[in-house]
Amino acid sequence: MYPNPLKQKLKSGQLVLGTALPVFEPSVTTLSCQTGIDFLWIDTEHSPNGAESLGAIPVLARNQGVAPMIRVAWNDPHLIKKAFDVGAVAVMVPQVNTAEEAARAVQYAFYPPIGQRGVSPHWPLIAGEDWMNVIRTANDETVLIVQIESVQAYENLEAIAAVPGIDVLLVGPMDMSASVGKITDMQCEEVQSMMQEIPKRLAGADIVIGTTLGDVSELQQKYRWGYRFLNVGSPLGYGISALKQHIHTLRTKPGGEG
C-alpha cells in the first residue's frame, strides 16, 4: 500500500491512466480500481462533497495499488492539507495561472523542508500503516498536479513548469474553451492548437503533461501529441452511454429482428 508507485511511474515516463470516481461509495471505488487504472480521480472541486465526505475511500484505493488523486476546490492550504491527510497520493490544484500560484501550491502540498504543510495525517491510522514512517517519507510519495485551464496559464507555461515540486501539468480543455471565448467547444481550433503546442513547448522539461477526455480515439491522439497522464472518462459516463444504446436497440428491435 505504501508507498504508492505513482511518482516513480511518472518519473520513468510510463503512460499513466486513471478514471473519475462518480460517487464516493466503497463498492464503486473497489470496482473502479479493478479496471487496471493507476490513479482514481476523486473530485472535490465541482462535486458538492469535500474531504470530510471521503471516509476510507482513499485507503480503499491504496489497498488495491491505485493512487487516490483528489482535486481540491482551490489553491488553498486548508483544502490541500486535508486532501493529503485523508489519504491522497496526488492532489490536483485547479486554475493555476502563474508561477507564483504554482509555488504556493508546492508550499501547501509538501512537508518541510520543501514546503510548509502541517504534520498529522489521518489516513495511516485507518490503513494500519506506520504513522511515523509515513510522515518521514511522505515527501517522496507526494505527487502534485496543477491544472492549466486558461490563456494566461498557457502564456506562463514555461515559468509554471519550472517551479520545483510540480509533477504534472494537466490541461483542462473545458475551461480552456471558456477562456478563449468558446465555452464548451473543446474541439475549437484555439483549444486544440494550445493542447498540441504544450508538449512541444515543454519538450525536455522534467514534467509530465496530462489531460482528461472520454473519447478513446481522442485520448490516443493526445498520447501521440506527448500526453502521458490521461484520465479516461468515468465509469458512470461510459455505463450510461452503453445503457442508452441498449435501451435504444431494444426499443427499435425488441426481438432482434432485421
For residue 18, what are the contacts with CB-CB under 8 A and spacing of at least 6?
37, 38, 39, 40, 41, 67, 69, 230, 231, 232
CA atoms of 147 and 172, how far apart (whole Å) = 7
Which residue's entry shows cell 465526505? 53
The answer to whether the CB of 93 falls within 8 A of the CB of 111 is: no
CA atoms of 252 and 67, how far apart (whole Å) = 42
Q: Does 46 qualify as catalytic in the annotation? A: yes
For residue 159, what are the contacts with CB-CB under 8 A and spacing of at least 6?
98, 99
Q: Among 46, 78, 122, 246, which one carries the catalytic annotation?
A: 46
CA atoms of 101 and 153, how far apart (whole Å) = 10
Taking the CB of residue 83, how many other CB atoms lie within 10 A of it?
28
> Active-site positions?
46
